[in-house]
Amino acid sequence: MSLFEADISSKIMKVALGQQKEIADEENTERNSIIAVFCVASALNTEEENRKAPPQHTLADIIIKKIKDNDVELPEEERHDLIKWTL
């Protein structure tokens, strides 16, 4: 292979590598844009769900409510007996 052919081959390879890099950069930009849009949409959706969601109750909250509801239904003397028994 002559020096001229090697020089041309080298220039062709440089141009081809440059084009490949451009294509890869465009694909990454496109992919990153899609990911960014997805992340924003997901964050907005989560925020909207949090606004609509009822307040979360713990198991302790539920148990205390049940005890209070049942306590109101008991006659006064049974409440005192129950309190003495639990202490």
Give the domain ranges of the chain: 1-53, 56-87
Predicted local confidence at residue 27, as pLDDT: 87
User: What residues in the chain have per-residue pLDDT under 70?
Assistant: 1, 3-4, 53, 72-87
Q: What's the burial of 79, exposed, middle or buried (CB within 10 Å: 0-12/13-18/19+)? A: middle
In the Cβ-directed half-sphere of 8, how many Cα atoms lie within 13 Å?
5
Predicted local confidence at residue 21, as pLDDT: 92
Predicted local confidence at residue 20, as pLDDT: 92
Rounded-to-integer distance, Cα 31 and Cα 39, Å: 12
Predicted local confidence at residue 47, as pLDDT: 82
3-class DSSP assignment, residue 74: coil
- The pLDDT tens digits for 49-72 are 777 767 778 888 888 888 888 776
pTM (predicted TM-score): 0.41
Residue 9 near residue 16, CB atoms below 8 Å: no
